[in-house]
């Protein structure tokens, strides 16, 4: 079990995760977060990857991770994680492997699986108290197949399946609250543009047993329509505007770990992304902009 399920690339540093050899999109906010998460977790891991953008990291028979890698169908990663965790527990119990060679089981999934197709399997894994870390990179659409609308798509965003004058008419599902309602061992939101906050939460999650969520907003240059060099600034603005609250759930309560006062107007975040261009051109849609700002304000008023 300690050997990689795929062959690892020889003499390949972890920084290769951000290199061009992975065939990932330049400026990918999800890759930035995964790189930072892996730097903290280390190679003593087995990643159970649901079909999605990060599947491109591993091109058979190679993977850039020093740990192990298992690829599953989009809805099946938590079920795969259960099998891996059970196998590891049996190997340790039967002394087939020493306890120090046990691995951390990490599910790696996009928002399409996390918020939608894989939600029932995830709920079951939480109910069973599965000892796993569930990492979701949320680029707010089915990014690997053309940025179709997903249950994580924000209100008024244009996608390849919602191309009308007002964009997506629905509202983003709150995966953090769904996990909290299931009473996990730990849950947190992160973003690669805030690496210190992210690293602290991963370190905390490593020391906790049971179901643990790490939910990362993943600015997506191709799906959100912005220049790759703007990815970090857009990530920071997601936090500064209050669109993406950085928070954690532990010991039965939610704590916000980074609070910006005063907050930057939400339109500063929206106007950098082509998926919201219709809110500003050819005429400003004051009603929709006001609605988006009001929803963000209402959230913060409810927690402050």
Section 268-283 average pLDDT: 98
- For the stretch 49-67, pLDDT in tens is 999 999 888 877 788 788 8
pLDDT recorded at residue 23:
63
The pLDDT value recorded for residue 260 is 87
**pLDDT, greater one: 57 or 6:** 57
| Residues ≥6 apart with Cβ < 8 Å to 72 | 48, 49, 50, 51, 79, 80
Amino acid 17: pLDDT: 40
Query: pLDDT tens across 9-28, in order?
Result: 333 333 334 333 346 899 99
pLDDT tens-place string over residues 65-104: 888 999 999 999 999 999 999 999 999 999 999 999 999 9
Give the closest residue to 244 by CA, choosing from 202, 205, 220, 215: 215
R_g over Cα of the chain? 19
**pLDDT score at 63:** 80
Strand partners, 217: 138, 191
pLDDT above 70: percentage of residues in the chain: 92
Mind listing the pLDDT tens digit for each residue in 235-269? 999 999 999 999 999 989 999 999 988 999 999 99
pLDDT tens digits, one per residue of 28-38: 999 999 999 99
**Confidence band (pLDDT; 50, 70, 90) for 6?**
very low
With contact defined as beta carbons under 8 Å apart, do 223 and 147 qualify?
yes
Say if residue 283 is exposed, middle or buried (CB neighbours under 10 Å; 0-12, 13-18, 19+): exposed
CATH number of 7-303: 3.40.50.970
Q: What is the pTM of this model?
A: 0.92
Instruction: Give the DSSP H/E element, type plus range, for residue 190.
Output: strand 186-191
pLDDT at residue number 197: 98
């Amino acid at each position: 079990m300690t050997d990689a399920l795929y062959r690892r690339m020889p003499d390949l540093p972890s920084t290769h995760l951000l290199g061009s050899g992975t065939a990932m999109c330049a400026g990918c906010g999800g890759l930035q977060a995964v790189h930072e998460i892996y730097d903290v977790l280390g190679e003593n891991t087995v990643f159970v990857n649901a079909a999605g953008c990060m599947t491109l990291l591993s091109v058979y028979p190679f993977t850039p991770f020093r740990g192990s890698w298992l690829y599953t169908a989009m809805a099946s990663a938590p079920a795969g994680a259960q099998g891996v965790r059970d196998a590891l527990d049996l190997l340790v119990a039967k002394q087939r492997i020493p306890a120090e060679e046990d691995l951390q089981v990490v599910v790696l999934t996009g928002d399409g699986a996390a918020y939608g197709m894989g939600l029932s399997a995830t709920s079951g894994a939480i109910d069973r108290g599965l000892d796993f870390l569930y990492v979701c990179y949320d680029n707010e659409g089915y990014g690997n197949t053309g940025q179709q609308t997903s249950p994580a798509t924000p209100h008024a965003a244009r996608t390849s399946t919602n191309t009308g004058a007002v964009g997506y008419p629905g509202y983003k599902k709150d995966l953090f609250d769904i996990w909290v309602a299931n009473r996990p061992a730990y849950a947190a939101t992160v973003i690669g543009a805030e690496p210190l906050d992210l690293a602290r939460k991963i370190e905390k999650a490593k020391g906790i047993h049971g179901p643990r969520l790490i939910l990362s907003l993943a600015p997506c240059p191709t799906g959100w329509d912005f220049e790759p060099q703007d990815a970090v600034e857009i990530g920071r603005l997601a936090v500064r505007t209050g669109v993406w609250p950085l928070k954690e759930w532990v010991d039965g309560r939610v704590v916000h770990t980074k609070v910006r006062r005063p907050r930057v107007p939400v339109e500063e975040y929206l106007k950098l992304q082509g998926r919201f261009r219709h809110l500003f051109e050819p005429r400003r849609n004051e009603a929709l902009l006001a609605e988006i700002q009001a929803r963000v304000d209402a959230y913060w008023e409810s927690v402050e």
